[in-house]
């Protein structure tokens, strides 16, 4: 479904992505992790062309994402994208957030879009909040709406850019549950996250990035049980012991 071939990206003189090559199969759930500044968010943002690349190729469902002839808006409408900061539209209701794109871009009638949106909101457990404005919801609720909004375009692929990093700890679980259900329904997903529990339980494969390179890729059980690259071993031990234990 996704072919990433020798992708390079620079921010000025900074080499943000170094020869990244990767494939994601249809129905696969891939988690990308790594320390801050490793390029994982940059990578996921190049997939729907929120960020340009300087060399290499990214092909999604047969479409060259960075090619000159791609119909960018149509291309993007087939890829759901969930942001760290939710980015719901604050001036319209939750329901309208979920019907805006389907009515304008998929040509749905308002009643159809409304029914579909309510089904999706129900799926993320928020049908009762349809008439609320985003500012009235908690962070976790907003992120679940953002997932429903993305799903309303019926994308075959969903990208998540640190979807739980801006949330209070007690709200992380509800968002991860929605994502897990989505994965179980067979959605193809690429997810940048620090949630190692999610990576272990839900992901088919985990990529580890550092300094713009993919240093390790493994099925999730091996990733945690038998990490090979020393940088990954250190990363895993760092996140497991947040505080140095006093002797």
Partner 1 sequence: MIELIDTYWLYFLVGQYPHGPLGGLALTLILAVLGLLFAFPLGLVFGIARVSPWRSVRWPVSALIQIVRGTPLLMVVFWAYFFLPSLTGQNTDQFWTMLVALVVFDAAYLAEIIRAGIQALGKGQTESARSLGFSYLVAMRLVILPQVVRNMLPSLVNQFVSTIKETSLGYIIGLTEVSFIATQINTQVLTRPAEVYLLLGLTYFILCFGLSRFAFWLERHLQQRTMAKAHA
Contacts to partner 1 by CB under 8 A: 48, 50, 73-74, 76-79, 81, 83, 85, 87-91, 100-101, 104-105, 133, 135-136, 146, 149-150, 153
Phi, psi of 125 (to 5 degrees): 75, 25
What contacts 14, CB < 8 A, 6 or more positions away? none
Task: With CA atoms as reference, report the closest residue to 29 among 147, 162, 177, 184.
Answer: 184
Q: How far is the CB of 34 from partner 1 (least distance, A)?
A: 22
Q: How far is the CB of 93 from partner 1 (least distance, A)?
A: 11
Q: Which is nearer to partner 1, 105 or 127 (CB)?
A: 105
CB of 229 to partner 1, least distance (A): 32
Min dist CB 10 to partner 1, Å, is 20
Q: Which of 90, 197 has the CB closer to partner 1?
A: 90
Tell me how far, at minimum, the Cβ of 41 lies from partner 1, in Å: 12
DSSP reduced 3-state for 137: coil
Rg of the chain over Cα atoms, rounded to whole angstroms, equals: 18
- What is the DSSP annotation of 168-227? -HHHHHHHHHHHHHHHHTT-EEEEE-S-HHHHHHH-SEEEEEETTEEEEEEEHHHHHHS-
Q: For residues 151 and 176, which CB has a smaller minimum distance to partner 1 in the complex?
A: 151
Q: In angstroms, how far is CA 225 from the centroid of its own chain?
A: 24
Q: How far is CA 78 from CA 102, 155, 163, 218, 239, in A?
A: 12, 5, 19, 27, 35
In the bound state with partner 1, the residue whose beta carbon lies nearer, of 59 and 100, is 100
CB of 76 to partner 1, least distance (A): 5
Spatial distance between the Cα atoms of 160 and 44, rounded to a whole number of angstroms: 8
Cβ proximity to partner 1, 3 vs 87, nearer residue: 87
Distance CA 183, CA 115 (A): 23
Cβ closer to partner 1: 26 or 104? 104
DSSP state of 243: S
């Amino acid at each position: 479904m996704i072919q990433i071939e020798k992708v390079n990206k620079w921010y000025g003189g900074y080499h943000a992505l170094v020869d990244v090559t990767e494939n994601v199969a249809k129905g696969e759930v891939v988690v990308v992790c790594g320390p801050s500044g490793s390029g994982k968010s940059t990578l996921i943002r190049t997939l729907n062309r929120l960020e340009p690349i300087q060399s290499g190729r990214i092909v999604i469902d047969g479409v060259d994402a960075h090619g000159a002839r791609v119909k960018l808006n149509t291309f993007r409408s087939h890829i759901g994208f969930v942001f760290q900061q939710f980015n719901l539209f604050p001036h319209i209701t939750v329901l309208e957030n979920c019907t805006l794109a389907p009515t304008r871009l998929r040509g749905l009638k308002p009643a159809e879009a409304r029914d579909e949106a309510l089904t999706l909101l129900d799926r993320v457990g928020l049908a009762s909040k349809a008439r609320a404005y985003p500012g009235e919801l908690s962070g976790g609720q907003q992120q679940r709406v953002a997932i429903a909004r993305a799903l309303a375009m019926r994308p075959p692929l969903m990208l998540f850019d640190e979807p739980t990093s801006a949330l209070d700890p007690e709200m992380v679980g509800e968002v991860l549950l929605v994502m897990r259900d989505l994965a179980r329904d067979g959605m193809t997903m690429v997810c940048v996250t620090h949630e190692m529990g999610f990576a272990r339980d839900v992901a088919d494969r985990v990529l580890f990035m550092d300094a713009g390179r993919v240093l390790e890729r493994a099925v999730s059980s091996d990733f945690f049980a038998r990490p090979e690259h020393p940088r990954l071993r250190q990363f895993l031990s760092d996140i497991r012991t947040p505080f140095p234990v006093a002797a």
